[in-house]
Structure 1
């Protein structure tokens, strides 16, 4: 690269950077970071008050410092390492709630220890261990690429989770503004004037913001509304002659916040002073925090994916959260992970940018070191209004708009999850949703026909290319064979319908009596014990109705299941073959053998090539027309003996002749690399092989190998040319004869294809 090109490249990157962070674009980004920082500071105080209460209330400020440390580390690490620019991670309510129970237990257990600091240090050590174990587990899940399993969660369950999150954000916003949980019994209290003043402005702010952003799109709308709302709030205070101190006492402002720094590294001293037997007794609760953190993180990231319509690398998010939690644990902090609400609030305010997450983390760090008394002047209704706006967005997207997109059953599942989340709890709602989705899936899947194709021996034959008289016989008697190509997973919802179809076929008076039931498992992914019971019943039905069950292409796992359940104990009624081709071939052989024994038909004579031609002409209804020409044709064919293993045609070679088989048998097979050869067709007495390559003059696409010794008659390309030169009418007869053969094969193929697609 020349100096001029390098300079142009630098100028281009500088131009892009200036465009990305121009003042009009930077303002909403910084505003989003500040708002998120204030909200996270508030959450830190709430979690601190939740965990460090009762006998630990005198250590509340130190506890808030530990949670602020967690918020700073989690926010910074995830903001820098996440695949989604704009991801926000914070200490979470689920670990905080369980740690509050652990703190209460430790306080009771160690109350008589005589060491006031021991309870606090034991709790700090417990928080550190919880965060580090959570972090290591999350990192290992990401390292082993296990995040993909959340993709199996049904779409309505994730939709219900997001709608439930919206409901919790709406109710949580009102509770935040009023400092009182919103419950049905307390509704009258929220309608009193003193309470209305606290929450109604926030609701109006959220509704206005939601309505304006639905109509207009601009990065400056949210910062402008925040500024106008703050100015209006303090203007109202000025007109009403209410000081900020009095407004704070009435609960209209954030805080109160501690004025001094809160940072103290406790971990190393906690290791020595903690009472470890009490910590070990809480291993069950610690494991619960780890499991719930994994589930919640994956649900949150999946929800963010849907909301922002961007695929996120779940395994990288697990690794980022894992590293953040390990670092948090080293400082004695609270476990946390990706925050759905905060991330989407950042997305609404600033788009996709890492800066808000970094600013929020830095604010928490600054408060940790220097205190946060200045934030006490921030109006509480604005923070609550932003949360209300976000919750309203969720409810609008997943309760209202999904009505027009989803089926009724999926939509009712979303409403069920929202109802349970609102009435009982978040995790309970998700669990009920998963159970309901599984039941709904079972009902829907059981309606799918487990039989992909239903065929008979009349329309589907094996790849054994028999003499035409035998083909006609198999078409006449092929109705005795029922072929069911199964698909999917066989369980109690589908196995019984399979048995019902077999019973209906047995009692159908318009069809020939059933002698062979062929079930092909090539497309079956698995089966449960109820499906095995259905096959046992089918075997009993076969004994009563005198037919044979033929199972083909069973996977090793399914075969072991049959053997464990003793479903293969009656060999007289049940046969197993490696693939459908060999299974149908066996059924055809049984029909032909029975017909020969009954004297209904005679074996195809094959004493010489002329008799073979006679049988083929009879089958093609062309005997009278061509009989006089057969004697003239015989001299052009070369008689050859076939030995087992001999190649008539080599795959890839240019053909130089075609062959009429007088006796013996050959196999047409596709030869892949190694020993993995695929049988395409088995041909015997009275059949022609090599005619396509002979006429098209293309390399052979498969090999023809002798399986049973016999006699063939060879017609070379040179001999055919000689026939055309010496006896043009005879050559014309031969070409017409071959056209009839190819036409017959095409008709048979079309009949099979028609049976498959109808």
Structure 2
């Protein structure tokens, strides 16, 4: 830098010196010398300087500052930002410099709050008619959720929640969803993308719970951080069941709970079917096909926490779940597991590996409770391919429909997440 000690930089001074063409190595010595002389003899020198020169110098600096901050640097400002700059200038001129700084900070904070509160805290608003969990259910249960899924609401929230944004959430639930007059059963607030919650937002959540419970609606949360969880419990802003707060680590588990609640209300018998009834619905009540397939399947019982098969094992056929529930897990990088699918009665398990080039299991499946399955081995399926072409074609069609429905589910969730 020009006129700076070694190892130091002074961009402003360097720019000024370069504009004046003074880039000699003598500049730092001359500058330092002037500063030393003025520090020692300045009080004696200044009275001899013409007042016009001193005034012109002050005016020059004032004009340069005014030009930069009132014209050059604010040409891209919005009108409200330019108005704040004018208010700061007027405060500095008529009150004082420190008062101008304080007024500028307060106005900037006020403008930030106003602008941030205009950003909706509700990133997405869904119903269970189009927003489902990863639980794979029988078609009869899916039909019930298609019909009554509108009674379960999901709100995905985002950003920092304070009085300016939390009230909009309350207004959305109260006015848009019409909680007081509608037939909704349960509301989920997903806080996965929420960065923080202040006390005013917590009070708003208390109001939301009171509004929901006064209308017979449960309020549950998902994706709640440790600090937010403690605050919600302290403020009693969440519904409870058997004295346990309805807080879920992930939205998928919360939506599963909502689905189970609706199914228990509207179709308690929807999943209470045996293997014969499941297959009759799949094969359009073709009893001959169903019986032939059952004759080639083997009944298998598993206890809670038993592993049906593990990720990486070779394929040995697929299963149909008659009773109970199973969960599919995949390994993660930190030697943990993540749930990718849960299976309810009537679901197919393990059908994908037979159609991959490697022919290995793509996930680990474990029993959530004592369960009953029917297993069609690879050998039995190969035998059907040669004995009963029509039934074999129906089995392949069943697998294709299952895979297509899973792809459709993932596409739908991805589309909703991107909205």
| Shorter-chain TM band | 0.7 to 0.9
Q: Normalized per residue, which structure has more helix?
A: 1
Residue number in structure 2 paired with 1:631: 291
**Any conservation in 2 of the 1:658–1:691 contact (CA below 8 Å)?**
yes
**Any conservation in 2 of the 1:518–1:583 contact (CA below 8 Å)?**
yes
For the pair 1:605 / 2:290, whether they are aligned, the reply is no
**1:379 shift after superposition:** 8.9
Residue number in structure 2 paired with 1:539: 209
Q: Relative to 1, partners in 2 of residues 1:381 and 1:518: Cα closer, same or farther, differing over 3 Å?
A: same
SS in 2 for 1:659: strand
Residue number in structure 2 paired with 1:71: none
For the pair 1:644 / 2:304, whether they are aligned, the reply is yes
RMSD: 3.9
TM-score (norm 1): 0.48
**Any conservation in 2 of the 1:451–1:487 contact (CA below 8 Å)?**
yes
Q: Distance in 1 between matches of 2:25 and 2:88?
A: 32
For the pair 1:464 / 2:141, whether they are aligned, the reply is no
Residue number in structure 2 paired with 1:551: 221
Alignment of 1:73-92 (within 5 A): 79-82=5-8, 85-87=9-11
SS in 2 for 1:436: helix
For the pair 1:410 / 2:81, whether they are aligned, the reply is yes
Query: Which of residues 385, 398, 404 in structure 2 aligns to 1:737?
Result: 398
For the pair 1:577 / 2:248, whether they are aligned, the reply is yes
For the pair 1:691 / 2:351, whether they are aligned, the reply is yes
Residue number in structure 1 paired with 2:198: 528
Q: Normalized per residue, which structure has more strand?
A: 2
Q: Distance in 2 between matches of 1:694 and 1:414?
A: 69
**Any conservation in 1 of the 2:92–2:99 contact (CA below 8 Å)?**
yes
Q: Relative to 1, partners in 2 of residues 1:456 and 1:392: Cα closer, same or farther, differing over 3 Å?
A: same
**1:348 shift after superposition:** 4.8
**1:456 shift after superposition:** 0.8
**Any conservation in 1 of the 2:271–2:345 contact (CA below 8 Å)?**
no
Deviations 1:550-582 (A, max 9, x none): 122222212222344344587689632222222
**1:470 shift after superposition:** 0.8
Query: Which of residues 385, 402, 408 in structure 2 aligns to 1:724?
Result: 385
**Any conservation in 2 of the 1:654–1:697 contact (CA below 8 Å)?**
no
**1:448 shift after superposition:** 1.6
For the pair 1:672 / 2:343, whether they are aligned, the reply is no
Q: Relative to 1, partners in 2 of residues 1:382 and 1:367: Cα closer, same or farther, differing over 3 Å?
A: closer
Q: Distance in 2 between matches of 1:565 and 1:630?
A: 55
Deviations 1:14-63 (A, max 9, x none): xxxxxx9xxxxxxxx5xxx4xxxxxxxxxxxxxxxxxxxxxxxxxxxxxx
**Any conservation in 2 of the 1:649–1:655 contact (CA below 8 Å)?**
no
Larger Rg: 1
Greater RCO between the two (CA within 8 Å, min separation 6)?
1
SS in 2 for 1:623: coil
Q: Relative to 1, partners in 2 of residues 1:355 and 1:482: Cα closer, same or farther, differing over 3 Å?
A: farther
Q: Distance in 1 between matches of 2:108 and 2:23?
A: 33
**1:507 shift after superposition:** 3.0
Query: Which of residues 304, 314, 317 in structure 2 aligns to 1:657?
Result: 317
Q: Distance in 2 between matches of 1:353 and 1:558?
A: 62
Alignment of 1:32-71 (within 5 A): 33=3
**Any conservation in 2 of the 1:454–1:756 contact (CA below 8 Å)?**
no
SS in 2 for 1:594: helix
For the pair 1:513 / 2:173, whether they are aligned, the reply is no
For the pair 1:453 / 2:117, whether they are aligned, the reply is no
For the pair 1:614 / 2:280, whether they are aligned, the reply is yes
**1:390 shift after superposition:** 5.9
Q: How many residues align?
A: 417
Q: Relative to 1, partners in 2 of residues 1:351 and 1:688: Cα closer, same or farther, differing over 3 Å?
A: farther
With 440-449 and 628-637 compared, the bigger mean Cα shift is at 628-637
Deviations 1:607-662 (A, max 9, x none): x3x432223x1xxxx515x6543334344434333233333342345544332222
**1:451 shift after superposition:** 0.8
Q: Distance in 1 between matches of 2:206 and 2:46?
A: 74
**1:436 shift after superposition:** 0.5
Deviations 1:671-695 (A, max 9, x none): 3355643222211211112333331
For the pair 1:481 / 2:152, whether they are aligned, the reply is yes
SS in 1 for 2:131: coil
**1:497 shift after superposition:** 1.5
Q: Distance in 2 between matches of 1:700 and 1:411?
A: 64
Deviations 1:428-475 (A, max 9, x none): 222211111111111112222111110111111222222221111112
Q: Relative to 1, partners in 2 of residues 1:478 and 1:358: Cα closer, same or farther, differing over 3 Å?
A: farther
**Any conservation in 2 of the 1:490–1:531 contact (CA below 8 Å)?**
yes
For the pair 1:707 / 2:364, whether they are aligned, the reply is no
Q: Distance in 2 between matches of 1:375 and 1:530?
A: 58
**Any conservation in 1 of the 2:124–2:155 contact (CA below 8 Å)?**
yes
Q: Distance in 2 between matches of 1:660 and 1:725?
A: 22
**1:496 shift after superposition:** 1.6
Provide structure 2 residue ranges, at least 5 long, that are not aligned to the other structure: none
**Any conservation in 2 of the 1:86–1:357 contact (CA below 8 Å)?**
no
Provide structure 1 residue ranges, at least 5 long, that are not aligned to the other structure: 1-19, 21-28, 34-75, 88-340
**Any conservation in 2 of the 1:455–1:756 contact (CA below 8 Å)?**
no
Residue number in structure 2 paired with 1:682: 342
Alignment of 1:488-507 (within 5 A): 488-507=159-178
Q: Relative to 1, partners in 2 of residues 1:407 and 1:733: Cα closer, same or farther, differing over 3 Å?
A: same
Q: Distance in 2 between matches of 1:709 and 1:523?
A: 36
